[in-house]
A and B are shown apart, each in its own frame.
Chain A
């Protein structure tokens, strides 16, 4: 599933980050920030309008991602 579809409070493991275009700078930045295979993430909060952006905990850090950004990350939900 996509990180953007993860319910609030749920945890998951990153599988990969997909480029939506050649040399996608947003995808590259996500990888630099630690969105790499095997990393655990948790969806902490949703923005007030349209549940956008989403707040994602990865490692010890929280990142606000717009839904389109989070949709680049494919994850496997864990219980």
Chain B
């Protein structure tokens, strides 16, 4: 056993700190995938123990019990028992329990123990337990449970040392497997009570801090006000912190572009590097700071334990539009990107609630739309102060986010009333203790998101940018042609063709053209416009924003903003919907309803704006 890889499975209730422990052990180096055919996440990482043995760690979804009503729990159980096809049984199960919440978590420990496999119990959050005056007789607990018990503090450096030492030694022998039937399950709570009486001294049931914070955070009036303020501040911060950094990146790329023009001879290569890559790609890369600021707030809120409070406050309202309080968290992630949001709907047990959430998630304004919004707002909306504190550009951005949310509510309501199955939907949601967000876990999350963005940028977006440059440059205009060269290019013909469809929305051919690459990745609309206008020679003075104000009206800009608020999401989102729902039908529904809504809303916006502006 000492040679070779030791396969360890991490299990535990939701909110036991399993993910933090996994990050602590593997340093966030993980492979995330799905179990074949189902939408339960499979996370794997590895590290080398002091003895030189390689430990391979499998992080399983958090579960409350092995009740087989939910697919997560069935899979967790099958994997642990070695019954999951293609997944070897783990050599050792590390069961993670929150030391401050043992009444609930020990019950699951007992269930895991009954599987009859080697188990180590990790009592996590021992620092918080001590601070709250909770005394746990670990030696006695170990004796009574009949399995090794180690203390861990997943959020502190070296906090998993005892666990590593324990799993690096001999694998403990397994308790005998026990039958799993209703009568023995009913006895588990009695066993937990007995264990707690003998080993745990708890001065009070909840943290005093939780009580104090919840008195405000869950207050019927102040709670909702706090939530509104938090959300508003997040979006203002995206603008006031992220935007200046983005501008710096833009300046940097302009500088590189200008120098390329000096060093390289004029010709197709200079054109590709300067107009295609520097202008196109640079414009999109410039939005990295804004995206990171948004993710920073989402990750911090997620870590702090505040989000389930928001879900509690909003549940009733979301229920009335066919959603659930649980939808709030996936929908909030969708503001960063619909893809993690749609994957996050796995935490919604009710399949009807889950499908509705998946269908409306792309209406939440994802960060890929930010570049488009930022560009158009920056170019067309004046930098006024409103009521002395708010800035008009920020308010317009906020309004676009609100438009997405209202759209989602309307669509949810329609789906609810079209559905035939009216049986009860469940909430049953745990509100975890508040936690100080850990810089390490936030940093790992930001790093992952940043890398995903950069990979998209250097993959799909780079390729599309080069293609856009190519079709806007070739073929060259015939000898003796009058008018800009781009009018004779493939892009010119394609754009003018599309304009027949989009002209009622006020889109010129350049915009119509940019909608094609935007379908692959929304940010590319900016890169495409940048490339088209750079090749067309309009962007020489004052950059893209200047080129836009010179070429189209405020009514068109507003119509385009509205289009992006509702338009069919990018291809990757459609692919994720296909994967998560296992159905092309949902993909078609999703695409067509969004196209219809976007077209109608933009049409109204343009026609009305033209009358008044």
Q: B-contacting residues of A (Cβ < 8 Å)?
A: 20, 25-26, 28-34, 36, 39, 44-50, 52-53, 55, 57, 59-66, 68-69
Structural contact, B218 and A52, CB atoms closer than 8 A: no
Shortest CB–CB separation between residue A37 and chain B, in angstroms?
9
Complex interface residues of chain B between 307 and 359 (CB less than 8 A to chain A): 308, 311-313, 315-317, 319, 325
For residue B352, give the distance in angstroms from its CB to the closest CB of chain A.
Answer: 14
| Chain A contact residues: helix, strand, loop or mixed | mixed
Contacts of B104 in A (CB 8 A): 33-34, 59-61
- Kindly name the residue among B101, B102, B308, B431 whose own CB sees the greatest number of chain A CB atoms within 10 A: B431
CB closest residue in chain B, given A25: B69
CA distance A67 to B77 in the complex (A): 31
Contact yes or no, B316 A33, CB < 8 A: no
Q: Given A28-B67, A57-B205, A59-B104, answer yes or no on A46-B428 (Cβ-Cβ < 8 Å).
A: no
A55 CB contact (under 8 Å) in B64, B202, B218, B221? B218
CB distance B221 to A48 under 8 Å? yes
In the complex, the answer to whether B317 meets A49 with C-beta atoms within 8 Å is: yes
B residues neighboring A (CB under 8 Å): 64-65, 67, 69, 100-104, 107, 185-186, 189, 202, 205-206, 210, 214, 218, 220-221, 223-224, 308, 311-313, 315-317, 319, 325, 424, 426-431
Contacting pair A63 B107 (CB below 8 A): no
| A20 to B423 CA separation, bound complex (whole angstroms) | 12
CB neighbours of A36 from chain B (8 A): 186, 189
Does A64 contact B206, Cβ atoms closer than 8 Å?
no
Enumerate chain B residues within 8 angstroms of A53, measured Cβ to Cβ: 312, 315-316, 325, 427
User: Are A64 and B100 in contact, CB atoms less than 8 angstroms apart?
Assistant: no
Which residues from B are CB-within-8-Å of A31?
186
Q: How far is the CA of A68 from the CA of B102 in the complex (A)?
A: 27
Distance in angstroms between the alpha carbons of A73 and B218 in the assembled complex: 23
Pairwise interchain contact B430-A63, C-beta atoms closer than 8 A: yes
Chain A residues within an 8 Å CB radius of B311: 64
What CA separation (Å) do A23 and B311 show in the bound complex? 28
Q: Are B103 and A59 in contact, CB atoms less than 8 angstroms apart?
A: yes
Task: Decide if B103 touches A48 in the complex (CB within 8 Å).
Answer: no
CA of A26 to CA of B425, assembled, Å: 9
- Residues of B near A26 (CB, < 8 A) are 424, 426, 428
Alpha-carbon distance between A47 and B218 when the two chains are bound, in angstroms: 7
List, in ascending order, chain A residues with CB within 8 A of B65's CB: 32
> Pick the contact of A48 from B185, B210, B220 — CB < 8 Å?
B220
A6 to chain B, nearest CB (A): 16
Known: A34-B107, A48-B224. A63 touches B317 (CB 8 A): no
